[in-house]
Amino acid sequence: MTTNTTPITIEHHGRRHYIVGAPFSARERLKNAGCKWDPERRAWWSGSAEKAAAVVESLAAAPLMLEGRPVKLADDSWGVRLIGASSVDVGATVKVSTAKGDSWQTTVTAIVESDANGITVKTTERPRAQTSSRSHSDPRRCREHGCSAPAVIRGYCRQCAFDEFDN
C-alpha cells in the first residue's frame, strides 16, 4: 500500500488551527472530525487546537492509501489523478473512485504528470463500467442511468453501450 509521505502539520492563525499537508483521501475523516475546508488556503481547519492535534495524530497512526479519480490521458489510455499527492512509486497500488461511488484498486505503471495539486499516473486497467445503484426494473429504459433512450444493446442505450463495451 502506498501512503502519502508529506508530513501533516498544524499551523495556527488566529482562532483557526490549519491542518496542512493532509491528503485528499483523508477528506472524509477530516469532515467526520468536524474540520472545515478553507478554499483560499487550500487546507482543513479546526477551531480547537486539541481537536486539530488529535486529527493529525490519528492520520499519522493510520496511513491512508492514495486515492484518485479516473482520467483519460492524452494517448487515449486511462489513468488516475491523485489529488493532493506529493509522491507515488511505479508499482504502487492506488484506490480509484468514480463520481457515482464505484471504486477499485489498481497498480501504477507510469507517472504522467506532477504539479502542485497532485499527480497523474497511468494504471494497469481502464475504469470499470459504471453501473447504476438503481434496480433495472424497466426493460425499455437504459440500465446505466435510467435515461428515456430505448435500451437497444443488452439493456443499454446506444451511448452507454458504446461506453460499456468499447475497448
Cβ-Cβ contacts under 8 Å for 146 (sequence gap 6 or more)? 132, 134, 138
**How does pLDDT run across 27-86, given as a tens digit for each residue?**
888 988 899 999 999 899 999 999 999 988 888 776 667 888 888 888 888 889 988 777
Return the higher-pLDDT residue of 117 and 163.
117
Cβ burial, residue 28 (10 Å; 0-12/13-18/19+):
exposed
pLDDT-derived band at 16 (thresholds 50, 70, 90) equals very high
- Whole-prediction pTM: 0.46
CB 131 within 8 A of CB 102: yes
Predicted pLDDT at 134: 43
Beta bridge partners of 57: none
Predicted pLDDT at 161: 61
**How does pLDDT run across 115-144, given as a tens digit for each residue?**
887 889 988 766 555 444 444 455 555 555
Name the amino acid, one letter, at 27: R
Asked if pLDDT for residue 11 goes beyond 80, the answer is yes
Return the higher-pLDDT residue of 37 and 150.
37
Alpha helices, DSSP H, located in 1-110: 27-32, 49-61
C-alpha cell at 80: 488516475
Cβ-Cβ contacts under 8 Å for 64 (sequence gap 6 or more)? 3, 4, 23, 25, 26
Cβ burial, residue 46 (10 Å; 0-12/13-18/19+):
buried
Asked if pLDDT for residue 93 goes beyond 80, the answer is yes
Return the higher-pLDDT residue of 108 and 166.
108
